[in-house]
């Protein structure tokens, strides 16, 4: 890995917050950060060696090999319309759902989608994170691959269709799963019980699904057809009709399985 | 821990399959196993030193200090009606949802509820599993506590009401969460992608929820109000209306959060 590669970011949210320092730790210098909110960009530059925060998305004098658009999907097109980049820079986005073509019109472009959940308040071990890459041509793909291989050992070539499948699956396995943890947390809070007592169960649920498969690992009153228990749980939730409905819907899905 | 304690089981399902050998490894001899399906009881005795499989739930000549009813909640009352036990034996059930009183009529009784998911195909590290105990009187409670402390370091006194809260929370955090993993697995299978690529995301989701809290750890298109992405995901799921509805319901809950 020559130390001379350079990278820049549009966006200073959870993704850029985690990726930018990781690239810099791997020897890829971060040049510029642009965010609609300049304070956010400046906060991110404080985590970096000597990156600068731009006032507008004008990267025309940037030395970056790759400019990473890490903004919510809804804003990618808007960013692309305003973006000024030199021909030598490859522009990539990090979205699971936006197709490669959203960057059409730029000379060299691609995708680097990290299949992970990022927050500012918790650092992620990036080297285990799978990255799904796409490039507007083979040479572009290869340069993106060189850069990403500096931060992760798990690199896959994936079409925009594949990425969409991955992102939908990730929403169920991560965002919705975390929401279920939150529901459990609330139920225990209402009963003055600590969330901590659920941790061994949550960890075992994950480990068992990994070892067997989620289908083989399924347990609980619904798969046991334990009707009295299901009724008691529904009656327990009767004061929270939306939660009771969610319990019913998920239980119905499990009752249909054998 | 005197080595002279003895235990027996009614039921040879996932719970007894994991608890009986753990008690025996901890020096508490397993005396008898009864299951409606004698083959199941015999299969479990094969994992034990010299436990015997009973033909009917007649423990009247048992030397057991504790007889554990580990059957689906729907069958506990039926088992209790048939059960014959000597006065010196404490009868406990292992249910999260059944109240203590379901054992009323027996001389000494209680509850030992392990907050964990058990399967025959994966051994569980029992010493980290929280057990929630209840006893028909203090002396009974203390004996149950002595026995359970041989297999777990995490023992709590909990009322039947507390256990119900714990069980409902556990259904969300374990059974329903595992079902979401299964949905993700199916989505990836349909796209010929391996479930393995989701594992770092699933592990990070759990670790982040533990480190922060589920509410603080929440990410994803819904909390970002990333409407285009949500629409693309719903359109991706349009061939699977039940799944699309579930996506909508969970997304609506997340959109309401700030």
Residue B258 has pLDDT above 80, yes or no: no
Closest partner residue to B226 (CB to CB) among A73, A124, A250 is: A73
What value does the mean pLDDT take over residues B202-209?
A: 97
Contact (CB<8Å) B168/A124: no
Contact (CB<8Å) B204/A176: no
- Helix/strand/coil for B58: strand
Report the 3 state secondary structure along B226-239: CHHHHHHHHHHCCC
Within chain A, residue ranges assigned H as helices are 14-25, 38-45, 73-82, 138-148, 160-170, 177-190, 199-211, 214-217, 227-236, 241-255
Q: What is the mean pLDDT of chain B?
A: 96
pLDDT in tens, B55-72: 999 999 999 999 999 999
Specify whether the CB–CB gap between A158 and B191 falls below 8 A: no
Closest partner residue to B168 (CB to CB) among A72, A182, A233 is: A233
Residue B127 has pLDDT above 80, yes or no: yes
List of chain A residues whose C-beta atoms are within 8 Å of the C-beta of residue B153: none
Cβ-based burial of A36 (10 A; exposed 0-12, middle 13-18, buried ≥19): middle
List of chain A residues whose C-beta atoms are within 8 Å of the C-beta of residue B102: none
Closest partner residue to A179 (CB to CB) among B115, B164, B253 is: B253
Residue B2 has pLDDT above 70, yes or no: no
List of chain A residues whose C-beta atoms are within 8 Å of the C-beta of residue B166: 188, 191, 193, 197
Contact (CB<8Å) B175/A222: yes
Contact (CB<8Å) A205/B166: no
Specify whether the CB–CB gap between B96 and B42 falls below 8 A: no
Residue labelled with tokens 């699956």: A169
List of chain A residues whose C-beta atoms are within 8 Å of the C-beta of residue B178: 205, 208-209, 214, 217-219
pLDDT in tens, B208-223: 999 999 999 999 999 9
Indicate the pTM of the whole model.
0.94
Contact (CB<8Å) B213/A185: yes
Contact (CB<8Å) A178/B217: yes
List of chain A residues whose C-beta atoms are within 8 Å of the C-beta of residue B164: 232-233, 236
Closest partner residue to A183 (CB to CB) among B95, B172, B246 is: B172
Residue A4's pLDDT is 87
Closest approach of B151 to chain A, Cα-based (Å): 15
| CA A249/CA A237 separation, integer angstroms | 13
* Mutation to test the A interface, candidates B175, B199, B215, B224, most A Cβ within 10 Å: B175
pLDDT, tens digit only, all 258 positions of chain A: 455 899 999 999 999 999 999 999 999 999 999 999 999 999 999 999 999 999 999 999 999 999 999 999 989 999 999 999 999 999 999 999 999 999 999 999 999 999 999 999 999 999 999 999 999 999 999 999 999 999 999 999 999 999 999 999 999 999 999 999 999 999 999 999 999 999 999 999 999 999 999 999 999 999 989 999 999 999 999 999 999 999 999 999 999 864
Residue B212's pLDDT is 96
The complex's ipTM works out to 0.95
Residue B4's pLDDT is 87
Residue B131's pLDDT is 98
For A33, the enclosing helix (H) or strand (E) is: strand A29-34
Q: Which two tokens stand for residue B220?
A: 């994803």
* Mutation to test the B interface, candidates A152, A200, A213, most B Cβ within 10 Å: A200
Q: What percent of chain B has pLDDT over 90?
A: 96
Residue A96's pLDDT is 97
Specify whether the CB–CB gap between B178 and A202 falls below 8 A: no
Residue B256's pLDDT is 87
* Mutation to test the A interface, candidates B98, B128, B187, most A Cβ within 10 Å: B187
* Mutation to test the B interface, candidates A158, A184, A236, most B Cβ within 10 Å: A184
Residue B1 has pLDDT above 60, yes or no: no
Contact (CB<8Å) A214/B73: no
For residue B181, what is the nearest residue in chain A, using CA coordinates?
A: A173
Return the number of CB contacts < 8 Å for A and B: 329
Report the 3 state secondary structure along B68-137: EECCCHHHHHHHHHHCECCCCCEEEECCCCCCHHHHECECEEEEEEECCCCECCECCCHHHCEEEEEECC
Closest approach of A115 to chain B, Cα-based (Å): 7
Residue B257 has pLDDT above 90, yes or no: no
CA dihedral sign of residues B241, B247, B250, B256: negative
């Amino acid at each position: 890995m020559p130390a001379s590669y350079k990278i820049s970011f549009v966006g200073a949210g959870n993704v850029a917050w985690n990726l930018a320092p990781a690239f810099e730790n791997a020897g890829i210098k971060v040049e510029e950060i642009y965010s609609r909110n300049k304070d956010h960009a400046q906060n991110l530059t404080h985590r970096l060696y000597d990156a600068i925060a731009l006032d507008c998305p004008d990267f025309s004098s940037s030395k970056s090999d790759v400019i990473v658009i890490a903004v919510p999907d809804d804003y990618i097109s808007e960013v692309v319309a305003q973006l000024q980049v030199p021909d030598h820079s490859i522009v990539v986005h990090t979205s699971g759902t936006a197709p490669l073509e959203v960057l059409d019109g730029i000379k060299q472009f691609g995708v680097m989608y990290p299949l992970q959940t990022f927050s500012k308040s918790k650092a992620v071990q990036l080297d285990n994170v799978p990255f799904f890459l796409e490039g507007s041509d083979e040479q572009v793909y290869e340069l993106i691959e060189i850069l990403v291989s500096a931060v992760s050992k798990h690199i896959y070539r994936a079409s925009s269709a594949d990425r969409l499948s991955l992102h939908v699956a990730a929403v169920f396995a991560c965002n919705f799963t975390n929401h279920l943890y939150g529901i459990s947390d609330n139920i225990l809070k209402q009963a003055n019980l600590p969330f901590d007592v659920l941790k061994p169960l949550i960890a075992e649920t994950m480990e068992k699904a990994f070892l067997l498969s989620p289908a083989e690992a399924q347990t609980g009153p619904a798969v046991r057809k334990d009707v009295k228990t299901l009724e008691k749980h529904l009656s327990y939730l009767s004061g929270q009709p939306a939660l009771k409905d969610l319990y019913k819907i998920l239980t119905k899905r499990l009752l249909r399985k054998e």
